[in-house]
């Protein structure tokens, strides 16, 4: 029988009790067949209105204080997560609220197994996530649709975030070598409520949100609003913030078998961008220099206070706008056959000028980097999910298509400094540059235009081999076309067709546990890393798509009446034909990388009062073959061959736990650890290991009224996320304090 799907109903209960479910599923070692990382199948519209269990982005809440997770929100996953042969991490709305997380970047920073590097090509500064040693900047999704126009991601309209690890080509199509990050939007729920919250914090931080839900018979409506303002965001002195958003949605139950849901989303972000602090080098004064550029004493970012912000306020700009609309139809042909279809259209702009700090003998040099990009896309998913008996056994299956049509435009932007302007400042107490009187020109002429079209068709099947054995399969075919046209009329094209598949075998020694093995593939065609950014690269436009193969072995168990989920996995991901230069200076599919490691996770309720969400990941990512480096017509073997992949730590750990001291008073805290990260093959530049401690306490002042205090980065540690070696290192917020009050009417 179908697993119940209630993604768009009954979330009201979940809102107060969801929390991140780190669910690393096991997986590595060559197994023999392709990983069928099944992805969630929705239940029928009529069932969704009667279920008591809430399923949100992989989370099923079974009690008011439960952290337990049962199922994925992804409609291509056909089994409960405990029976799904794949690593899945779920961050619920409860944890986002408890931790005071307001962006996807905040969430990723406290998720083990994911690291950040510097955002480029129109990505938000510092937001280029890597999963299992592979970039996932093009694998961020909204409600299952790839975010082709990625700019900035807010949490005010999110129900949860689901992170699926390992190649997901069968479910996601293009890319997804390391995994995918899927954001699940809020939609109308049964019942009526109005949630309002106000937050004040460090650096004149102010944030206000409204979540209002109504039900009028067969019609549901929901409205989410957000406004945020700050003078020194995250304790970074002078880094201003201003953002606001609105997200209305409606649903209509057309009889017992059909449901229509539609929504709008608008988000404007004017947060000042921040490229952090410069790296030390030989010219850096002794008082600020860290390291000497050797393997025993590698370069590190300069030693300055956590609030040192080097942006030039009168020059630096950031204006990002995202808007989208969706329509979804769910129809039950019978109790065992369901059809769902969703159409989504969006547009985005991302315009910024940001300071790039560099260390010199006399101070910090502040050059600029700028971008002016826009784009639009239209996407469609249509899926038939059913259950039937054939070949002597019961099958749960899904058949579907994914269609996407996107265009990204790069426009003119030019920064002209005033005559004689000195762009340098001191290492400490930097000048904010309020006297900058230069000019910034942004023109309409488009310097390049890139169009992306993809068409995918897929099938999934899950069936029982024997009472304790379950097999899952997935198969997908994609056609992907990318075309870049410059202002001069030069055209670069890439046209790719490829297959991806999965197979998984699951053994259930007991009802509350499973042991599984799986294999999965993914494909990365040239030009797939678009975003509001990169177009088709002429150097490798004719090359075959890169192929990755992932192997996993793992186990998952639920304890304490299914209130606690414990997972373990080993994994290996091989990319066997990465693009690299050959000995003649030409690109070929000759590169090889390998990532292998271990993931452990626990999520749920240890007792009625004590909840926990924690995970540990060991990631050994190496470049097995990097090809050649060519300079002036002479090519030599690339020094990255045999080295660890840049920016990937061996060990990451994240813990979040809360305890209800009384019925009104709750205390909580979290610890996030990240091992050192090499920033070049020779390990002469390294980001040091780092530990972050967060604390939270909340008190119920009255029924439906909660006061919450958060202290993040309690010990004011210098923490780094995205970075560019020998350039700059993005700095995470220093110690910051916030107080919020929330009330449900």
* Residues 26/555, Cβ–Cβ less than 8 Å: yes
Alpha carbons 220 and 214: distance in angstroms, whole number: 6
Strand partners, 451: 407, 483
* Residues 90/182, Cβ–Cβ less than 8 Å: no
175 and 233 share a domain? no
Question: What are the φ/ψ torsions at residue 559 (nearest 5 degrees)?
Answer: -130, 175
Q: Which of 108, 117, 115, 103 has its CA nearest to residue 728?
A: 117
Specify if 159 maps to a domain.
Answer: yes
Q: Which of 34, 11, 28, 16 has its CA nearest to residue 522?
A: 34
Percent of the chain at pLDDT > 70 equals 87
Confidence band, pLDDT 50/70/90 cuts, at residue 295? very high
Q: What would the pLDDT profile of 668-723 be if each residue is shown by its tens digit? A: 999 999 999 999 888 999 999 999 999 999 999 999 999 999 999 999 999 998 77
Parent domain of 156: 11-185
Q: Is 586 helix (H, G, I), strand (E, B) or coil?
A: coil
Alpha carbons 365 and 358: distance in angstroms, whole number: 5
Question: What are the φ/ψ torsions at residue 169 (nearest 5 degrees)?
Answer: -60, -30
* Residues 57/159, Cβ–Cβ less than 8 Å: yes
Alpha carbons 82 and 70: distance in angstroms, whole number: 7
Alpha carbons 19 and 94: distance in angstroms, whole number: 5
Task: Inform me whether the pLDDT recorded for 296 exceeds 80.
Answer: yes
* Residues 33/550, Cβ–Cβ less than 8 Å: no
What does DSSP say about strands 728-731 and 277-278: parallel, antiparallel, or unpaired? antiparallel
Check residue 641 and give its pLDDT: 92
Q: Residues in the chain, how many?
A: 745
Alpha carbons 696 and 657: distance in angstroms, whole number: 10
147 and 273 share a domain? no
Confidence band, pLDDT 50/70/90 cuts, at residue 421? confident
Alpha carbons 347 and 173: distance in angstroms, whole number: 21
Alpha carbons 306 and 716: distance in angstroms, whole number: 7
Check residue 209 and give its pLDDT: 98
Check residue 543 and give its pLDDT: 83
- Mean pLDDT, residues 120-145 taken together: 78
Specify if 1 maps to a domain.
Answer: no
The reported pTM is 0.88
- Mean pLDDT, residues 67-80 taken together: 86
Task: Inform me whether the pLDDT recorded for 366 exceeds 60.
Answer: yes
Task: Inform me whether the pLDDT recorded for 511 exceeds 60.
Answer: yes
103 and 201 share a domain? no
Quick one: which H or E segment has residue 410? strand 393-416
- Mean pLDDT, residues 59-72 taken together: 57
Specify if 4 maps to a domain.
Answer: no
- Mean pLDDT, residues 198-215 taken together: 97
576 and 682 share a domain? yes
Higher pLDDT, 16 or 164: 164
CA distances (Å), origin 308, targets 53, 239, 279, 289, 719:
48, 10, 14, 15, 13
Residue 157 tokens, joined: 């309209």
Q: Is 331 helix (H, G, I), strand (E, B) or coil?
A: strand
Q: Which of 24, 719, 164 has its CA nearest to residue 474?
A: 164
Higher pLDDT, 689 or 137: 689
Please give the DSSP secondary-structure letter assigned to residue 464: E
Q: What is the 3-state secondary structure (H, E, C) of 500-556?
A: EEEEEEEEEEECCEEEEEEEEEEEECCCCCCCCCCCCCCCCCCCCCEEEEEEEEEEE
Check residue 336 and give its pLDDT: 95
Strand order in the sheet with 87-92: 21-23, 87-92, 158-165, 179-185, 140-142, 145-146
Confidence band, pLDDT 50/70/90 cuts, at residue 150? low
Long-range contacts of 588-592 (CB under 8 A, 24+ apart): 588/543, 588/627, 589/543, 589/544, 589/546, 590/625, 590/627, 591/623, 591/625, 591/626, 591/627, 592/623, 592/624, 592/625
Residue where one domain finishes, among candidates 185, 213, 236: 185
Alpha carbons 237 and 279: distance in angstroms, whole number: 19
Q: What would the pLDDT profile of 317-331 be if each residue is shown by its tens digit? A: 999 999 999 999 999
Task: Inform me whether the pLDDT recorded for 540 exceeds 90.
Answer: no
Task: Inform me whether the pLDDT recorded for 57 exceeds 70.
Answer: no
The contacts of residue 625 (CB under 8 Å, 6+ apart) are 578, 580, 590, 591, 592, 641
Specify if 327 maps to a domain.
Answer: yes
Which CATH number does the domain housing residue 644 bear? 2.40.170.20
Which CATH number does the domain housing residue 110 bear? 2.170.130.10
Residue where one domain finishes, among candidates 185, 216, 239: 185
Check residue 17 and give its pLDDT: 35
Please give the DSSP secondary-structure letter assigned to residue 733: P
For the four alpha carbons of 540, 543, 545 and 549, in that order, the dihedral sign comes to negative
Task: Inform me whether the pLDDT recorded for 499 exceeds 90.
Answer: yes
The contacts of residue 217 (CB under 8 Å, 6+ apart) are none
Check residue 613 and give its pLDDT: 92
For the chain, the average pLDDT equals 86
Check residue 123 and give its pLDDT: 52
Task: Inform me whether the pLDDT recorded for 532 exceeds 80.
Answer: no
Alpha carbons 546 and 458: distance in angstroms, whole number: 20
Task: Inform me whether the pLDDT recorded for 78 exceeds 50.
Answer: yes
Higher pLDDT, 445 or 183: 183
Alpha carbons 24 and 87: distance in angstroms, whole number: 4
Specify if 6 maps to a domain.
Answer: no
What does DSSP say about strands 87-92 and 439-466: parallel, antiparallel, or unpaired? unpaired
Check residue 624 and give its pLDDT: 94
- Mean pLDDT, residues 28-56 taken together: 32
Percent of the chain at pLDDT > 90 equals 63
- Mean pLDDT, residues 267-281 taken together: 93
Residue 112 tokens, joined: 């083990």
Check residue 726 and give its pLDDT: 62
* Residues 492/484, Cβ–Cβ less than 8 Å: yes
Specify if 5 maps to a domain.
Answer: no
CA dihedral angle for residue 58, residue 59, residue 62, residue 66, rounded to 10 degrees: 140
Task: Inform me whether the pLDDT recorded for 62 exceeds 90.
Answer: no
420 and 460 share a domain? yes
276 and 157 share a domain? no
516 and 638 share a domain? yes
Check residue 604 and give its pLDDT: 87
Residue where one domain finishes, among candidates 185, 220, 240: 185
Specify the number of domains making up the chain: 2
355 and 462 share a domain? yes
80 and 44 share a domain? yes
What does DSSP say about strands 337-359 and 158-165: parallel, antiparallel, or unpaired? unpaired
- Mean pLDDT, residues 580-590 taken together: 88
Q: Which of 322, 319, 450, 416 has its CA nearest to residue 372?
A: 319
Lowest-confidence segment of 3-17, 59-73, 322-336, 462-476 by average pLDDT: 3-17
Quick one: which H or E segment has residue 576? strand 564-581
648 and 724 share a domain? yes
Task: Inform me whether the pLDDT recorded for 434 exceeds 90.
Answer: no
* Residues 228/244, Cβ–Cβ less than 8 Å: yes
Q: What would the pLDDT profile of 449-482 be if each residue is shown by its tens digit? A: 989 999 999 999 999 998 899 999 999 999 999 8
Alpha carbons 474 and 396: distance in angstroms, whole number: 12
* Residues 666/697, Cβ–Cβ less than 8 Å: yes
Q: What is the 3-state secondary structure (H, E, C) of 595-640?
A: EEEEEEEEEEECCCCEEEEEEEEEEEEEEEECCEEEECCEEEECCC
Specify if 499 maps to a domain.
Answer: yes
146 and 214 share a domain? no
Confidence band, pLDDT 50/70/90 cuts, at residue 66? low
Residue 77 tokens, joined: 């996953």
Please give the DSSP secondary-structure letter assigned to residue 411: E
Specify if 83 maps to a domain.
Answer: yes
Q: Which of 230, 310, 300, 305 has its CA nearest to residue 269?
A: 230
Q: What would the pLDDT profile of 650-667 be if each residue is shown by its tens digit? A: 999 999 999 999 999 999
Task: Inform me whether the pLDDT recorded for 518 exceeds 60.
Answer: yes
Task: Inform me whether the pLDDT recorded for 255 exceeds 50.
Answer: yes
473 and 608 share a domain? yes
Confidence band, pLDDT 50/70/90 cuts, at residue 39? very low
């Amino acid at each position: 029988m179908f697993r119940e799907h209630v993604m768009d109903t009954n979330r009201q209960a979940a809102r107060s009790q969801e929390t991140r479910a780190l669910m690393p599923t096991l997986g590595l070692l060559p197994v023999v067949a392709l990983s069928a990382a099944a992805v969630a199948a929705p239940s029928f519209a009529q069932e969704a209105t009667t279920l008591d269990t809430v399923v949100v982005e992989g989370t099923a809440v079974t009690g008011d204080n439960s952290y337990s997770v049962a199922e994925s929100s992804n409609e291509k996953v056909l089994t409960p997560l405990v029976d799904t042969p794949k690593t899945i991490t779920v961050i619920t709305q409860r944890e986002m609220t408890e931790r005071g997380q307001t962006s996807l970047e905040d969430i990723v920073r406290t998720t083990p197994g994911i690291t950040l590097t510097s955002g480029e090509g129109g990505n938000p500064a510092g937001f280029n996530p890597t999963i299992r040693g592979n970039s996932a900047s093009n694998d961020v999704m909204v409600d299952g649709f790839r975010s082709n126009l990625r700019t900035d991601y807010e949490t005010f309209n999110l129900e949860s975030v689901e992170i699926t690890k390992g190649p997901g080509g069968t479910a996601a199509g293009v890319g997804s070598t390391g995994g995918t990050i899927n954001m699940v939007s809020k939609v109308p729920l049964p019942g009526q409520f109005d949630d309002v919250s106000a937050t004040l914090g460090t650096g004149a931080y102010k944030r206000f949100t409204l979540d209002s839900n109504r039900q009028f018979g067969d019609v549901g409506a929901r409205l989410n609003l957000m406004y945020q303002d700050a003078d020194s965001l995250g304790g970074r002195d002078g880094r201003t913030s201003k953002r606001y958003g609105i997200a209305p949605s409606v649903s209509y139950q057309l009889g017992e078998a059909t449901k229509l849901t539609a929504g709008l989303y608008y988000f404007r972000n004017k947060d000042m961008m921040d490229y952090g602090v410069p790296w030390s080098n030989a010219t850096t004064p002794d008082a600020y220099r860290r390291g000497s550029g050797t393997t025993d004493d590698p370069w590190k970012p300069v030693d300055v206070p956590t609030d040192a912000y080097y942006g030039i306020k009168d020059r630096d700009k950031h204006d990002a706008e995202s808007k989208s609309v969706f329509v979804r139809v769910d129809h039950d042909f019978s109790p065992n056959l369901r059809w769902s279809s969703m159409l989504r259209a969006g547009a985005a702009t991302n315009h910024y000028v940001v300071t790039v700090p560099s260390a010199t003998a006399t101070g910090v040099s502040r050059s600029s980097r700028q971008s002016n990009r826009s784009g639009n896309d239209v996407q469609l998913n249509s899926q038939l999910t059913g259950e039937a008996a054939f070949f002597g056994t019961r099958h749960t299956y899904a058949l579907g298509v994914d269609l996407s049509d996107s265009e990204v435009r790069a426009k003119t932007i030019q920064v002209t400094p005033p005559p004689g302007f000195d762009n340098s400042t001191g290492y400490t107490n930097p000048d904010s540059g309020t006297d900058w009187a230069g000019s910034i020109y942004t023109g309409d002429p488009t310097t390049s235009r890139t169009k992306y079209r993809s068409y995918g068709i897929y099938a999934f099947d899950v069936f029982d081999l024997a009472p304790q054995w379950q097999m899952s399969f997935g198969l997908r075919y994609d056609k992907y076309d990318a075309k870049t046209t410059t202002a001069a009329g030069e055209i670069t094209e890439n046209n790719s067709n490829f297959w991806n598949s999965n197979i998984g075998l699951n053994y259930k020694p007991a009802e509350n546990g499973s042991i599984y093995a799986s294999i999965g593939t993914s494909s990365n065609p040239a030009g797939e890393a678009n975003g509001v950014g990169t177009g088709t690269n002429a150097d490798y436009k004719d090359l075959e798509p890169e192929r990755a193969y992932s192997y996993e072995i793992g186990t998952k168990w639920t304890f304490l009446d299914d209130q606690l989920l414990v997972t373990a996995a080993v994994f290996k991901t091989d990319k066997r034909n990465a693009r690299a230069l050959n000995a003649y200076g030409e690109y070929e599919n000759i590169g090889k990388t390998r990532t292998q490691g271990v993931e452990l996770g626990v999520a749920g309720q240890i007792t009625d009062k004590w909840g926990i969400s924690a995970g540990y990941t060991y990631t050994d990512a190496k470049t097995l073959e990097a090809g050649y480096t060519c300079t002036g017509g002479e090519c030599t073997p690339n020094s990255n061959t045999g080295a660890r992949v840049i920016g990937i730590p061996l060990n990451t750990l994240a813990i979040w736990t809360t305890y209800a001291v009384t019925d009104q008073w709750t205390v909580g805290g979290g610890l996030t650890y990240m091992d050192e990260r090499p920033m070049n093959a020779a390990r002469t530049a390294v980001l040091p290991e780092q530990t972050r401690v967060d604390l939270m306490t909340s008190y119920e002042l009255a029924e439906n009224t909660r006061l919450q205090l958060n202290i993040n980065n309690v010990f004011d540690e210098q923490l780094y996320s995205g970075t560019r070696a020998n350039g700059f290192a993005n700095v995470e917020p220093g110690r910051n304090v916030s107080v919020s009050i929330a009330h449900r009417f």
